Amino acid sequence: MKAARVLAVRGATLFGVLIASLLLVIVVLGATGVSDRMIGSIVNEQVREMRQSLAQTIRDPDQLEKVVSEQQQHLISFYGLDRPWYTRLPDMVWRVLTLDLGSARTLKSFEGSTRVSDIVLERLPNTIILVTTALVISAVIGLYVGVKLATRVGSRLDRSMSYLSAASYALPTWWVGILLILVLSFQIRLFPFGGIISAPAPQDPLARASDVVWHAALPVATLVVASVGSWAYAVRTMVLNTAQEDFVTAARAKGLPEGVVMRRHIIRVAAPPILTNIVLGLAASLGGAILTETVFNWPGMGRLYFDAIMALDENVIVALTFMFTVLYVLARFVLEVLYIMLDPRVRY
Amino acid sequence: MSRRAKNVLKELLSTGSGKVGAAFFITLVIISVGVIVAYPANFGLRYWSNPVLWADNPQVAPPSWTNLFNSEKHLETKVFESTGQAERLPEPGAMRIIYRFNLDYAADEAPSFTSLTVQNVSYRDRPPIITVTVQRPDGKSISLYQLIVSGPRPGEQPPFRRYYDTPFRVRLSGEPNVASAVSDFLEQQFSVSISDQDLLVKGVDQAVFGVPDGYGGFMVLKGNYTVRVDALLYNQSDSVGHLKYVMGGSVFGLLGTDTLGRDLSVGLLFGFPVALFIGLVTSVVTTFIGTVTGIVSGYIGGKTDTAIQRASDILANIPLLPILIFLAFIVGQNLFIIILILIAFGWPGLTILIRSMVLQIRSGNLVEATTTLGASKSRIMFRHIFPQTAPFVFAQMIFSTPAAILAEASLSFLGLGDPSLPTWGQILEAGFQNGGVYVGYWWWILPPGLLIVITAMTFVLLALALEPVVNPRLRRVQ
């Protein structure tokens, strides 16, 4: 079972990636003293609350001070603040790995919960809507255009597309978004400035859905514009590379129709690198989503990340950095599985 | 220049994209060198972030050339300074120095503000008196403002020096005394009575540069105005160093201003060397590390190879932007730290590619021959293997340059840029944060983004032109 071994090795590496980025985040937090400050402020907050409630029952000030300082010591050792940060490391890694993401300091979910997992779960679907739609659209356009270009290498269309895809690579996602807002929202007033749904949300489910689509149009367009060019170009190059292999010439010599050569001999072989591109595109649009959601005020994970930075909400920042890595690693793993399915050389 | 490098250059310039890219690149370098020579080293903190320096510019003014497309003509900011001829008029026991600033007022709006700045006054006996008078095209004139320079402090010895360190600046438009002078003027000349307060709200300059329209407002009065600034000095050795009268417009310069009145063209020019620095330093160092580790990993093999490959596998798979944001947020918003992070996560991709190339080269005849001749490992790696990867490495270096520029711009756009110097991303972020998209401050948002795109494009075009060098298969068909 070679496939299983390959998968196991890749899985282990990707798990290593996950642990490495988690360690990176936690070590940076610990070594810069941010972690101590975070926990310190949690302890202080709890001690303050405790003092208030105890003051109701204990009248003697000395007695009160004694009880409070006892409790404070208890809390400090409970959170491990009396130990150096690196001894807390295994606990923290375990806590985050088991998806115990803690609670936010200032941010809240729309329902009012401060648990990070509540906040994230609320935002996750919104990001998925945005990123997946954009990915599907750019993949379809990119594949179609890329294959078209590869059959007409050197034509005027091919050359102008090369420039366009270069431009697309050089376009910062967020700037595309800003341009679209300036032109289509500000000047022509065709689309909303941002958000996911109109302020009094329509009640009718159909109207609701179309309202979301109307709001999603610009952010999706932004993500597509920023990625479709490099897509088409990568597909073109890969198809072109494969088209010069000897077996393609042989297939043509056999007299196979051009369509069959393209589908069975070229695209089939060029598929794994194209898939890599899809997944790398997914990873990039994850980053792009942070910026696009910020520009369009789209209530997804990217916008949450931005808000967390602005509010200095460390727990949310750590949790989201972790979540982004998990999503990325999962995508890579799916890719590995697809590789095995597509490339017989890996399977046997 | 070696033959190989010459060939690469020839290949580069043989394509259209290569020519355009090279032209852009040379332009970028020339502008950057010019900026480095012309700008002070501490431009960011000392000048860009110092609101005092920009106080006399109109705020969020679009570029002047927008007037060409408007039927209504906006006023361009006009600055009058006391250089050159001044009229000297002796008076009993005093000397009056008169500066006249003439202008043909043609705009369809009143100035957005007017201000007077006085600098370097010194006197011996009595404090000088400085007055501002506006003579209008309709023959009427308004005495707007009178400044009596502050008197001697107890124990202070003459000559008394005033406004040397910090110039004295007064915004005439917001000055209650000016409002009351204008209110009196309107009462006497036009029999219109408006209280000082109302006048301050409506805008004093509306009345100074206009006539009442009969509905409680004012119409702009076009024609020749003379702004007269008098300095009355009481001693031969008294002097007024520098006077400045500013009439704030609503359009400004080539690229307009931001909410602090900063000239955007000045900040954007400064962005050129910064962007090139970020891009080039990151790509050169990244490529260097990636190439060395790739060659070592591929040639030495064994445990070294495994260690390098595992490390680069992991680093190359960490999603960059979230980690970059996190690190910039925690470790600090410093340009060098940002560059360091970009390098730390940038090299592994190249390592993996170079290694696979080296594995092929290693099994070739050349390496076998030199090994038999007894060449040392390092000699083989850097005299025989490296040259064969060089064109690819060079192309990769160019290709990775825009990524660094775009990454810094993205960080800046999220508000995590280095606050000590303005970058294009930061200027754009400021425009976005100030609601530029929703109120249409396009001149604040389009140019910085366009510059980022052009700079990134330059390197992408060069990389495109280099592709046949790297991938000879593509050359065969073209």
Question: Which carries the bigger pLDDT value, residue B148 or residue A162?
Answer: B148
Whether residue A296 contacts residue A218, with contact meaning beta carbons closer than 8 Å, is answered with: yes
Report the residue from A14, A154, A317 with minimal CB separation from B329. Answer: A317
pLDDT of A285 > 90? The answer is: no
Cβ separation B325–A193 shorter than 8 A:
no
Nearest residue in B to A29, CA atom:
B330
| Nearest to A147, CA basis, from A285, A259, A282 | A259
Q: How far is B11 from chain A (nearest CA, A)?
A: 17
Whether residue B265 contacts residue B172, with contact meaning beta carbons closer than 8 Å, is answered with: no
**How far is C-alpha B173 from the chain's CA centre?**
28
**Interface A-B: count of C-beta contacts within 8 A:** 151
Question: Which carries the bigger pLDDT value, residue A281 or residue A38?
Answer: A38
In tens, the pLDDT along B100-111 reads 888 888 888 889
Cβ separation B317–A171 shorter than 8 A:
no
| Nearest to B238, CA basis, from B122, B400, B77 | B122
Cβ separation B473–A13 shorter than 8 A:
no
Query: Would strands B129-135 and B113-123 be described as parallel, antiparallel, or unpaired?
Result: unpaired
In chain A, which residues have their Cβ closer than 8 Å to the Cβ of B438? 186, 193
Query: How much is the pLDDT for A249?
Result: 87
| Nearest to A166, CA basis, from B474, B17, B14 | B17
Query: How much is the pLDDT for A75?
Result: 83
In chain B, which residues have their Cβ closer than 8 Å to the Cβ of A38? none
Region of B104 (left: φ > 0; alpha: ψ -120 to 50; beta: rest) is: beta
Cβ separation A24–B460 shorter than 8 A:
no
In chain B, which residues have their Cβ closer than 8 Å to the Cβ of A25? 323, 326
A286 touches chain B (CB under 8 A): yes
Mean pLDDT of B17-45: 91
Read off the tokens for A343. Answer: 């490339």
Query: How much is the pLDDT for B36?
Result: 92
Whether residue A303 contacts residue A297, with contact meaning beta carbons closer than 8 Å, is answered with: yes
Query: How much is the pLDDT for B284?
Result: 95
Cβ separation A291–B414 shorter than 8 A:
yes
Nearest residue in B to A288, CA atom:
B321
Question: Sign of dihedral through CA atoms B441, B443, B446, B448?
Answer: negative
Query: How much is the pLDDT for A206?
Result: 85
Q: Which of A144-148, B95-99, B321-325 has the lowest mean pLDDT?
A: B321-325
Q: How buried is residue B270: exposed, middle or buried, by Cβ count under 10 Å (0-12/13-18/19+)?
A: buried
Three-state secondary structure call for residue A115:
strand
Q: How far is B408 from chain A (nearest CA, A)?
A: 11
| Nearest to A231, CA basis, from A172, A290, A166, A171 | A166
Mean pLDDT of B348-366: 85
Q: How far is B424 from chain A (nearest CA, A)?
A: 12
Report the residue from B310, B317, B457 with minimal CB separation from A332. Answer: B317
Q: Which of A65-69, A162-166, B390-394 has the lowest mean pLDDT?
A: A162-166
Which residues, at least 6 apart from A156, have a Cβ–Cβ distance to it below 8 Å? Answer: none
Question: Which carries the bigger pLDDT value, residue A274 or residue B105?
Answer: B105
What are the φ/ψ torsions at residue B248 (nearest 5 degrees)? Answer: -75, 130
pLDDT of B379 > 50? The answer is: yes
Residue B71's pLDDT band, with cuts at 50, 70 and 90, is: confident
Cβ separation B473–A310 shorter than 8 A:
no
| Nearest to B189, CA basis, from B222, B224, B142 | B142
A305 touches chain B (CB under 8 A): yes
A231 touches chain B (CB under 8 A): no
Whether residue A231 contacts residue A139, with contact meaning beta carbons closer than 8 Å, is answered with: yes
- A residues 183-212 near B, CB within 8 Å? 185-187, 193
Cβ separation A153–B477 shorter than 8 A:
yes
> Across A150-159, B66-75, B139-148, which has the greatest mean pLDDT?
B139-148
Query: How much is the pLDDT for A347?
Result: 53
Cβ separation B321–A320 shorter than 8 A:
no
Query: How much is the pLDDT for B390?
Result: 84
Q: How far is A65 from chain B (nearest CA, A)?
A: 36
Residue B276's pLDDT band, with cuts at 50, 70 and 90, is: very high
Which residues, at least 6 apart from B4, have a Cβ–Cβ distance to it below 8 Å? Answer: B387, B390, B391
A321 touches chain B (CB under 8 A): yes
What are the φ/ψ torsions at residue B97 (nearest 5 degrees)? Answer: -105, 125
Query: How much is the pLDDT for B7?
Result: 76
Mean pLDDT of A104-131: 82
Report the residue from A174, A179, A305 with minimal CB separation from B410. Answer: A174
A171 touches chain B (CB under 8 A): yes
Query: How much is the pLDDT for B464?
Result: 81
The string of DSSP letters for A308-342 reads HHHTT-HHHHHHHHHHHHHHHHHHHHHHHHHHHHH
Whether residue A125 contacts residue A216, with contact meaning beta carbons closer than 8 Å, is answered with: no
Query: How much is the pLDDT for A113?
Result: 79
Cβ separation B329–A283 shorter than 8 A:
no
Whether residue B437 contacts residue A200, with contact meaning beta carbons closer than 8 Å, is answered with: no
Q: Is the ipTM of this complex over 0.85?
A: no
Query: How much is the pLDDT for A1?
Result: 59
Q: How far is B448 from chain A (nearest CA, A)?
A: 9
**Percent of all residues in chain B with a pLDDT value above 70, rounded to a whole number:** 97
Report the residue from A178, A310, A325 with minimal CB separation from B437. Answer: A178
| Nearest to B137, CA basis, from B218, B55, B220 | B220
Q: How far is B243 from chain A (nearest CA, A)?
A: 42
Query: How much is the pLDDT for B278?
Result: 93
Cβ separation B432–A178 shorter than 8 A:
yes
Read off the tokens for B197. Answer: 């307060």
Query: How much is the pLDDT for B478?
Result: 40
In chain A, which residues have their Cβ closer than 8 Å to the Cβ of B428? 175, 178
pLDDT of B477 > 80? The answer is: no
pLDDT of A202 > 50? The answer is: yes
Cβ separation B318–A166 shorter than 8 A:
no
Cβ separation A309–B438 shorter than 8 A:
no
Angle CA(B293)–CA(B297)–CA(B299) in degrees, nearest 5? 120
Query: What's the rounded Cα separation, in Å, for the pair A168 and A155?
Result: 20
Q: Which of A56-60, B15-19, B69-73, B185-189 has the lowest mean pLDDT?
A: A56-60
Mean pLDDT of A143-151: 85
Q: How far is A287 from chain B (nearest CA, A)?
A: 6
Q: Which of A139-153, A303-317, B44-58, B375-389 has the lowest mean pLDDT?
A: A303-317
| Nearest to B111, CA basis, from B170, B186, B61, B177 | B61
pLDDT of B288 > 90? The answer is: yes
Please state, rounded to an integer, the average pLDDT across all residues of chain A: 81
HEC sequence for chain B: CCHHHHHHHHHHHHCHHHHHHHHHHHHHHHHHHHHHHHCCCCHHHHHHCCHHHHCCCCCCCCCHHHHHHCCCCCCECEEEECCCCCEEEEECCEEEEEEEEEEEECCCCCCCEEEEEEEEEEECCCCCEEEEEEECCCCCEEEEEEEECCCCCCCCCCCEEECCCCCEEEEHHHCHHHHHHHHHHHHHHHCCCCCHHHHHHHCHHHHHCEEECCCCCEEECCEEEEEEEEEEECCCCCEEEEEEEEEECCECCCCCECCCCCEHHHHHHHHHHHHHHHHHHHHHHHHHHHHHHHHHHHHHCHHHHHHHHHHHHHHHHCCHHHHHHHHHHHHCCCHHHHHHHHHHHHHHHHHHHHHHHHHHHHCCHHHHHHHHCCCCHHHHHHHHHHHHHHHHHHHHHHHHHHHHHHHHHHHHHCCCCCCCCCCHHHHHHHHHHCCHHHHCCHHHHHHHHHHHHHHHHHHHHHHHHHHHHHCHHHHHHC
Mean pLDDT of A178-195: 84
In chain B, which residues have their Cβ closer than 8 Å to the Cβ of A85? none
Read off the tokens for B195. Answer: 């209280």
Mean pLDDT of B207-220: 86
In chain B, which residues have their Cβ closer than 8 Å to the Cβ of A20? 314-315, 318
| Nearest to A18, CA basis, from B30, B190, B322, B333 | B322
Cβ separation B453–A172 shorter than 8 A:
yes
pLDDT of A208 > 90? The answer is: no
Question: Which carries the bigger pLDDT value, residue B393 or residue A25?
Answer: B393
Query: What's the rounded Cα separation, in Å, for the pair A237 and B464?
Result: 12
pLDDT of B473 > 60? The answer is: no
Query: How much is the pLDDT for A30?
Result: 79
* Interface with B, mutate which of A156, A169, A225, A313 (most B CBs under 10 A): A169
Q: How buried is residue A49: exposed, middle or buried, by Cβ count under 10 Å (0-12/13-18/19+)?
A: exposed
Question: Sign of dihedral through CA atoms A310, A315, A318, A320?
Answer: negative
Whether residue B115 contacts residue B172, with contact meaning beta carbons closer than 8 Å, is answered with: yes
Residue B24's pLDDT band, with cuts at 50, 70 and 90, is: very high
Q: How far is B442 from chain A (nearest CA, A)?
A: 8
In tens, the pLDDT along B396-409 reads 898 889 989 998 99
Nearest residue in A to B414, CA atom:
A306
In chain A, which residues have their Cβ closer than 8 Å to the Cβ of B415? 309-310
Up-side HSE of residue B125: CA atoms within 13 Å toward CB? Answer: 8
Query: What's the rounded Cα separation, in Å, for the pair B410 and B426?
Result: 9
| pTM of this structure | 0.84
In chain B, which residues have their Cβ closer than 8 Å to the Cβ of A295? 432, 437
Query: How much is the pLDDT for A192?
Result: 84
Query: How much is the pLDDT for B136?
Result: 92
Query: Would strands B78-81 and B160-162 be described as parallel, antiparallel, or unpaired?
Result: unpaired
Mean pLDDT of B373-389: 86
Mean pLDDT of A223-228: 84
Query: How much is the pLDDT for B267?
Result: 92
In chain B, which residues have their Cβ closer than 8 Å to the Cβ of A324? 319, 322
Report the residue from B410, B442, B452 with minimal CB separation from A291. Answer: B410
Calculate the alpha carbon distances from A294 to A304, A310, B70, B314 in Å: 9, 12, 34, 28
Q: Which of A12-21, A136-145, A279-288, B381-390 has the lowest mean pLDDT?
A: A279-288
Please state, rounded to an integer, the average pLDDT across all residues of chain B: 86
A174 touches chain B (CB under 8 A): yes
In tens, the pLDDT along B231-264 reads 898 888 888 888 889 988 888 888 989 888 899 9
Query: What's the rounded Cα separation, in Å, for the pair A320 and A120?
Result: 8
Query: What's the rounded Cα separation, in Å, for the pair B147 and B127?
Result: 10
Calculate the alpha carbon distances from B285 to A72, B288, B308, B407 in Å: 50, 5, 17, 16
Mean pLDDT of B21-30: 93
